[in-house]
Structure 1
Amino acid sequence: MPDPIQKITPYLWVEKDAKAVADYYLSIFKDGKLKDYRKFENPPNEFNPEPSSFETAVIEIAGMEFSILAAGPLFKFNEAVSFVINTKDQAETDYYWNALTANGGEEGSCGWCKDKYGLSWQVVPTEYFELIHSDDPKVREKAMKNTLTQKKLILSELK
């Protein structure tokens, strides 16, 4: 029996090469898998006199399914849509931060970064939430104040 369909699936539109995009994310999220890849040919028609093609891929990373559509440069990623990676410790935070900002990615502030395709991610150690929701106002204030001075979140500096 096939896996049940995920109720809501993020769809990522990229310019080209859905398989390369899928492989990129699967190289970062080690527990992931490629669930589907297809290339479609569009015959010439009244709107587009030249033959064209597009590709789709479906990946599962961190237990969540993502669909990828490679159909040209019509749409680009922006910060209006982003994903948060909740990490267990500083080592895991460092791993995802370094992987996402490498090879054309870019660092932002307060734990935000972009990968080489321009997709925004926030890499956050789960302990961070304990600090900013602490019952102790001094702990909360220090964590929030220091968050604003950081690019990658460094737990030792937030405590």
Structure 2
Amino acid sequence: MGIVKPHLWFAEGAEKAAEFYASVIPNSRVTNLVTAPAGVPDVAEGAPFIVDLELDGMPIELLNAGPAFRLDEAFSLIVECDDQEQVDHYWESLTADGGKPGQCGWLTDRFGVSWQVIPKQLAELFGDYSTEGQRRAVAAMFTMQKLDIAALEAASRGAS
């Protein structure tokens, strides 16, 4: 068997998105760029067509193929962060220059790709939602855009 990897369809700008992601996410790089042959619908001959990216070591293929399909929140990439400093860094980087913040740690970058920027502590704070503290942490998250680890932990403890 070969490798399973995500494939993202862009109307245009896949190469710019790949370069941006490689600059923001450590252990990332553009590994290949294929230009379009003649006859590809919605893509000029010789324009960037297929872009291969390693994103934190994970292979992803990006495709410039015109507006037939659109990226949306049904697919997102998760950035699991060690601390609030990392949450802040990735949130600010990915929402820069036209990205849009969403709820509960979700955002859409300027290229239309959805991301979840979350702290590693989230699974521990939420558990199986069986305790009052876990339910309070989840309720607190629902009031946030960018996640605030200290506020989530305070909610879990019952502090205001």
Indicate the TM-score class for this superposition, using the shorter chain for normalisation: 0.7 to 0.9
Which residue of 104, 115, 121 corresponds with 1:110?
104
Deviation beyond 6 Å, 4+ runs, structure 1: none
Which residue of 9, 19, 25 corresponds with 1:29?
25
Q: Distance in 1 between matches of 2:102 and 2:38?
A: 39
SS in 2 for 1:131: helix
Q: Deviations over 1:71-94 (max 9, x none)?
A: 112211111111211111111111
Task: Name the count of aligned residue pairs.
Answer: 151
Question: Is 1:145 matched with 2:145?
Answer: no
Alignment TM-score, normalising by the size of structure 2: 0.85
| Residues 68 and 136 of structure 1: CA distance in aligned 2, closer, same or farther (over 3 Å) | closer
1:121: which partner in 2?
115
Partner amino acid, structure 2, of 1:96: Y
Question: Is 1:52 matched with 2:44?
Answer: yes
| Superposition RMSD in Å | 2.3
| Residues 39 and 145 of structure 1: CA distance in aligned 2, closer, same or farther (over 3 Å) | same
Q: Cα offset for 1:155?
A: 0.5
**Are the equivalent residues in 1 in contact too, given 2:129–2:135 (CA < 8 A)?**
no
108-117 or 129-138: bigger deviation: 129-138
Partner amino acid, structure 1, of 2:127: H
How do 1:1-159 and structure 2 match up within 5 A? 7-43=3-39, 52-53=44-45, 55-133=49-127, 137-159=131-153
Q: Distance in 2 between matches of 1:150 and 1:43?
A: 47
Alignment TM-score, normalising by the size of structure 1: 0.85
SS in 2 for 1:99: helix
Where do 5+ consecutive residues of structure 1 fail to align? none
How high is the sequence identity, in percent, across the aligned residues?
30
Q: Distance in 1 between matches of 2:142 and 2:43?
A: 50
Q: Distance in 2 between matches of 1:156 and 1:114?
A: 24
**Are the equivalent residues in 1 in contact too, given 2:36–2:43 (CA < 8 A)?**
no
Q: Deviations over 1:93-150 (max 9, x none)?
A: 1111111111110001111110111111111101111111179823202211100110
Partner amino acid, structure 1, of 2:12: K
